[in-house]
Chains A and B, each alone.
Chain A
């Protein structure tokens, strides 16, 4: 490890950039790190404040807003699940996120691949049709969708939320996959002389694995977006449903006016899975985003 990198550094140093390979710590760099750290802490203050106060009682929070927890226990966390249907909301959010992501991965890469292979004017038209959705805010389609789901009896079901998300995410998905598919050679698929169902199998066995970098970027951005969404479930889930985490917290703000500690607790619980998703897929995420961004 050390020897190879040293050799590389040596070779590089002899040829082009002798200054860059010596990775010395400089005062400037340490100052930069300190500045970044301070900025991160400032921006994280509200969340850290919520975290601290999720371990305090309402009386403690209001009599001494700047105080620290006197005891360290998870009473608020237990209470949140006992007093409200927060558990059901967590489950709803999980179902919406997982089912939507799975359906997106089943539908979108195949569609983008199809669009690129149809090609010509028809392919171009399909591509632009999907991309147009990027410029249609959710508010524009929201009123007719509520009416339509009411008519078919799906209003205030998780199905309605999932379907609305699917439509919204298709545009970004097609954009992402199409630009990726254009960048990789497709001779493999061309050579396989198959038709119909055979082509479907070829797609999933040969093409889909080649799209993995795009898929990982797509999955993580969508999973985070779905988990964090507030507006769509707010519109499509009424009080007959426990709602999603964010919708449930929003209701609590109105109902539990003297239980700030539970709001803070809910907020912290909503954040934990986002951090977990990010931690799990970070590697793919940064790479995928960077590739897409520089290309675009």
Chain B
């Protein structure tokens, strides 16, 4: 292009730029349609349904204002589900992250065969939560289960009990099964983060006379803070929506003792024909996820900067 043509050339280039942007938007459209139809629209519909008394089957329903929300907040069953969700969510996030970081630190020590051991540690994570829970259901069977048989064989028959039928312990049993893992992805993310810590930094700290624990607390831990943020946020989101284990192991029982919010929504919405009420619980679950993700991220990011 010569200089004398610059003005029209610029207009032409501008219109070309605009045309390219529209073409590029066209690239987004197919995925966008599916995403809007499958995620955004139904989520908004849930908010709408949460203000109705819909049973999930009938053609019509009435708007009942905040009745579902007030019913929910005065329902002991709902608060029990919230309590279980908090216990399982926070408990599993802390325990699984601790296990994963421990495993990553062990793997990071290896000079030989690290790939082999990394694979071995990852293997148990290939088994789905559903399958693991199903096997545990039989392991915990009162009469013929592995656990009680083992306890009787080693001479402590009094320790054998109805693990999934005892209201006092059932939620803790579920927490144990959720946390019976070596971390899988969480461990790999920690390992990748540990390996990106510059050796020089660790070496310098050691030369300055720092002990192993001091090196970890003052050098490694701040350096992997980004990984901690990701892992804790992901673990909490997974924790708030624990469903498979409850569905398989107890179906929320005995009674409603071991219900989580995710299970409560499923049970109320489909099993008890209270779709409006279930939708209100779903909206509350969304708020929990939103607030906890924002809070963990905010808190952790602040810590990262200080460190």
Which A residues have a C-beta under 8 Å from some C-beta of B? Answer: 17, 20, 23, 25, 28-29, 32-33, 35-37, 39-40, 43-44, 46-47, 49-50, 61-62, 65-66, 107-108, 110-111, 113-115, 117-119, 122, 126, 129-130, 132-148, 163-164, 166-168, 170-171, 174, 195-196, 199-200, 203, 224, 227-231, 234-235, 246, 249-250, 253, 260, 263-264, 267, 270-271, 274-275, 278, 282, 286, 289-290, 293-294, 296
Contacts and interface: CB of A to CB of B under 8 A. Distances in A.
Contacts of B35: 129-130, 133, 167, 170-171
11 contacts: A66-B150, A111-B30, A118-B21, A130-B31, A132-B40, A134-B237, A143-B270, A146-B270, A228-B129, A234-B247, A267-B131
A140 B282 contact: yes
Interface string B120-155: 111110111111101111110001111001100100
A143 B285 CA distance: 14
B9 interface: no
Interface string B221-246: 00000110010000001001101100
A171 B237 CA distance: 14
A36 B122 CA distance: 11
Contact of B188 (A32, A135, A166, A289): A289
A224 B185 CA distance: 12
A50 B43 contact: no
A43 B123 CA distance: 10
B43 A246 contact: no
Contacts, number: 275
B189 interface: yes
B297 to A, nearest CB: 11
Interface string B55-87: 010000000000000000000000000000000
A119 B106 CA distance: 43
A202 B143 CA distance: 65
Given A49-B139, A135-B290, A271-B126, A65 B26 contact: no
Contact of A122 (B25, B37, B123, B247): B25
B278 A263 contact: no
A43 B286 contact: no
A46 B131 CA distance: 10
Interface stretch (B90-98, B111-119, B168-176, B299-307): B111-119
Nearest to A282: B119
Given A49-B146, A114-B28, A263-B134, A44 B38 contact: no
A43 B120 contact: no
Contacts of B130: 228, 230, 246, 249-250
A131 to B, nearest CB: 11
B127 A143 contact: no
B109 interface: yes
Contacts of A36: 103, 106-107, 117, 120-121
Contact of B289 (A122, A135, A235, A274): A135
Given A141-B46, A144-B279, 14 more contacts: A29-B111, A43-B124, A44-B123, A111-B32, A117-B24, A118-B25, A130-B35, A141-B43, A166-B38, A170-B31, A195-B23, A253-B248, A278-B123, A293-B188
B181 interface: yes
B19 interface: yes
Nearest to A247: B130
B237 A136 contact: no
Contacts of B178: none
A145 B293 CA distance: 25
Contacts of B247: 230-231, 234, 250
B285 A139 contact: yes
A203 B27 contact: yes
Contact of B32 (A23, A126, A229): A126
B265 interface: yes
Nearest to B148: A65
B106 A35 contact: yes
A125 B193 CA distance: 30
Given A143-B49, A289-B192, A264 B135 contact: yes
A258 B134 CA distance: 15
A147 B286 contact: no
B204 interface: no
B112 A23 contact: yes
B56 A23 contact: no
Given A114-B26, A167-B38, A142 B131 contact: no
B226 A296 contact: yes
Given A29-B111, A117-B20, A235-B266, A137 B30 contact: no
Contacts of A174: 31
B31 A141 contact: no
A260 B119 CA distance: 30
A167 to B, nearest CB: 3
A208 B230 CA distance: 27
Nearest to B244: A230
B134 A40 contact: no
Given A140-B285, A253-B137, A289-B188, A113 B27 contact: yes
Contact of A62 (B144, B191, B278): B144
Nearest to A40: B120
A271 to B, nearest CB: 5
A90 to B, nearest CB: 14
A110 B27 CA distance: 6
